[in-house]
Amino acid sequence: MFGSLFVKLSHYVNIKGKYKGLVLILLLATGLRLFTLVKKDLWIDEIITAILTFGQGYQGIPTEELIPLDQISLLFQYQQQSYSEIAHALAETSSHPPLFFYLIHQWLGWLQELPFPDLSLATQLRLFPAILGIIAVILLYHLNQESFSQRAGIVGATLMAVSPFAVYLSQEARQYTLGLILITSALFFLIKLIKQSQSTGIYWLLWGVTNSLGIYTHYFFLLSFLAQIVTLFIFLYPSKTRLMTLGGVIIGVGLSYLPWLPTVVDHFSSSTTDWLPEFDWLSPIYQLLLGGIVMVVTLPVEQQPLLIQILSGIFMLGFWGWLVYHFRFGYQQLRRDTDTKKATLALSLYLVILFVQFILIIYVLQRNIAIAPRYNYVFYPAICALLGASFSFPEKRKVMLTLISVGIISSIFVGFNLFFIKPYQPELTAKRFNQHSEPTLVIMNYRNQAELALGLSYGLALDRQSEESSNSALMLLDRSEGYSRVWEKISQIEMNLPSSWVVAPGGLTEKDFPDQLKFANRNDCKRDRAAYYRIGFPYQRYQCQQ
């Protein structure tokens, strides 16, 4: 059903109007990304984006006091900042380079000038990455048109438009769609350099600038840059002139990064990656496999009955195997064709070198980066390009139509939060907070800025779900002095609500919660033993006497 759309797109691909098909693809990409853009609650990383880009910073977040839930979104008021101010804030409080955060800061400032005062916080934050994700579809089209053919460009762009992985990245207020744009552009210039016997200086310049911007976007872009360097070296050897040019551009990219280098050293030695799990040898294997599968198919697995999990898992694995089986035939044709062989080998080599780097990081440094599928954005443009080219042959039409149909269905599941469920699950947590449909006080204990952001995420999610949000409140309590001090702080709070929830990061177990919470004006709030939960961190409900 969905795949028949491609048949219509194909009719538009002609000399007279070659971009009409691309326009339809962009409409499809836009619909899948925007239709459910604000359905999911903002999670911890997106709250951190908001804190760092609206200009208020962490100092603008009130702690040790009651915050009415309907006032939390008002904490994110735009305040103009310079690039250096944003870079300084990131250097001090984050582990990311500054380019994306500066761009989205400018975007938020531009939105303030538009006559749309009622845009939700999620809309303001997510619309920018969604637009970047749509632009990435255009660039993928041009990458495949340059590398293979116009039809390969159309198929590749369509696959990215309906990819559940690309939709997932486009619906998060993070830097990954900017990374997609820059990697796709860098690969485009790389193919230009490889295919031309005498490369013009403009493509070297653009390749260098694109990679410099990429490294200022996300640190994993360094892995992409290294893979591109090795690929270019192999294809340009033994031309000494071109290898010297390559070396010069590499030096230029390195020099452009010198201002941020001291910060990189600090970030790499900080504890901000402590969230990665304890290393084991088996998990990365299936996580890397799953990272490839979810680029093309995602069916409901998380928080589903066991039978649905099994059936969805079997289908996803089977579909991936079926796709790989058909992919190899198109791939072999690309390798045999003298017009496409060089680009095919270049993109393949790029992927192999990236994979080797991932393996080294995982098994030598014992940092399991495979646990987070979003980091696979460095692979995705090249994979999508090769898939699009391999299935662009007329005899692969049915396979391609099936792939597009499954992609659209999978993207809808992603949009409705049935796959790629957010860490700490703010939506489910807020539903539990609101299970009695009564005003409540949520006490979030924090020791670092990530936990503080998580508390705001919970508060915003509860505000969306609760009809009593105007009477409910959030309190952020510093737990750095231990929980004995936390209970003492709680005893100083004036409590006039019928219930309270205590969220307790830091190793507390169910038995560590007190049987009774004492507040300044009452000591009748007793522990509800049927309302203890844990999603990453434990949280416990206390019922107060009416």
For residue range 72-98, list pLDDT tens digits in order: 999 999 999 999 999 999 999 899 999
**Distance separating alpha carbons of residues 444 and 538, to the nearest angstrom:** 11
| One domain, residues 379 and 510 | no
Residue 136: the pLDDT is 98
Q: Which of 367, 393, 416 is the last residue of a domain?
A: 416
Domain assignment present for 228? yes
| One domain, residues 229 and 325 | yes
Query: Between helices 341-363 and 121-147, what is the axis angle to 10°?
Result: 130
> If you average pLDDT over every residue of the chain, what do you get?
92
- Give me the number of domains the chain comprises: 2
- From residue 79, alpha-carbon distances to 50, 54, 86, 99, 127 in Å are 12, 6, 11, 18, 19
Residues 6+ apart with CB under 8 A from 136: 160, 166, 177, 180, 181, 184, 381
Domain assignment present for 358? yes
| One domain, residues 365 and 431 | no
- From residue 339, alpha-carbon distances to 190, 258, 530 in Å are 16, 40, 67
Domain assignment present for 90? no
Q: Which domain holds residue 154?
A: 12-34+126-416
| One domain, residues 209 and 155 | yes
Residue 269: the pLDDT is 80
Residue 5: the pLDDT is 53
**Distance separating alpha carbons of residues 136 and 526, to the nearest angstrom:** 54
The first and second tokens of residue 541, run together, are 């409900």
Cβ pair 466, 498 in contact under 8 A: no
Q: Is the pLDDT of residue 470 over 80?
A: no
| One domain, residues 443 and 325 | no
Domain assignment present for 119? no
Domain assignment present for 368? yes
Cis peptide before 259 (omega within 30 of 0): no
Q: Is the pLDDT of residue 395 over 50?
A: yes
Cβ pair 426, 461 in contact under 8 A: yes
Domain assignment present for 286? yes
Domain assignment present for 313? yes
**Distance separating alpha carbons of residues 80 and 55, to the nearest angstrom:** 6
Q: Which of 416, 451, 486 is the last residue of a domain?
A: 416
- 168-219 confidence digits (pLDDT tens): 999 999 999 999 999 999 999 999 999 987 768 999 999 999 999 999 999 9
Residues 6+ apart with CB under 8 A from 426: 41, 42, 43, 457, 458, 460, 461
**Distance separating alpha carbons of residues 29 and 133, to the nearest angstrom:** 8
| One domain, residues 492 and 435 | yes
Residues 6+ apart with CB under 8 A from 114: none
| One domain, residues 382 and 529 | no
Domain assignment present for 81? no
> Which amino acid type is present at position 99?
L
The first and second tokens of residue 123, run together, are 């809309």
Q: Is the pLDDT of residue 267 over 70?
A: yes
| One domain, residues 535 and 515 | yes
Query: Which among 461, 420, 428 is positioned nearest to 168, based on CA atoms?
Result: 420
SS (H, E, C) 296-321: CCCCCCCCCCHHHHHHHHHHHHHHHH
Residue 545: the pLDDT is 84
**Which one is predicted more confidently, 15 or 377?**
377
In this prediction, residues 479-489 reach a mean pLDDT of 92
| One domain, residues 318 and 244 | yes
| One domain, residues 311 and 339 | yes
Cβ pair 97, 18 in contact under 8 A: no
In this prediction, residues 248-260 reach a mean pLDDT of 97
- From residue 64, alpha-carbon distances to 127, 262, 475 in Å are 33, 34, 6
- 502-546 confidence digits (pLDDT tens): 999 988 899 999 999 999 998 889 999 999 999 989 999 999 987
In this prediction, residues 210-236 reach a mean pLDDT of 97
- From residue 133, alpha-carbon distances to 42, 139, 215, 429 in Å are 18, 10, 18, 29
Q: Is the pLDDT of residue 272 over 70?
A: no
**Distance separating alpha carbons of residues 222 and 228, to the nearest angstrom:** 10
Q: Is the pTM of this model over 0.85?
A: yes
Cβ pair 495, 525 in contact under 8 A: yes
In this prediction, residues 420-437 reach a mean pLDDT of 94
Residue 270: the pLDDT is 75
| One domain, residues 397 and 472 | no
The first and second tokens of residue 529, run together, are 């033993």
Angle at 355 between CA 291 and CA 289, to 5 degrees: 25
Q: Is the pLDDT of residue 138 over 60?
A: yes
Q: Which of 354, 386, 416 is the last residue of a domain?
A: 416
The first and second tokens of residue 493, run together, are 């709070």
- 360-370 confidence digits (pLDDT tens): 999 999 999 99
| One domain, residues 323 and 355 | yes
Q: Longest Cα pair distance anywhere in the chain, in angstroms?
A: 83
In this structure, the chain runs to a length of 546
Q: Is the pLDDT of residue 359 over 70?
A: yes
Report the chain's C-alpha Rg in angstroms.
Answer: 25
Query: Which among 97, 70, 123 is positioned nearest to 262, based on CA atoms?
Result: 97
Query: Which among 140, 189, 143 is positioned nearest to 166, based on CA atoms?
Result: 140
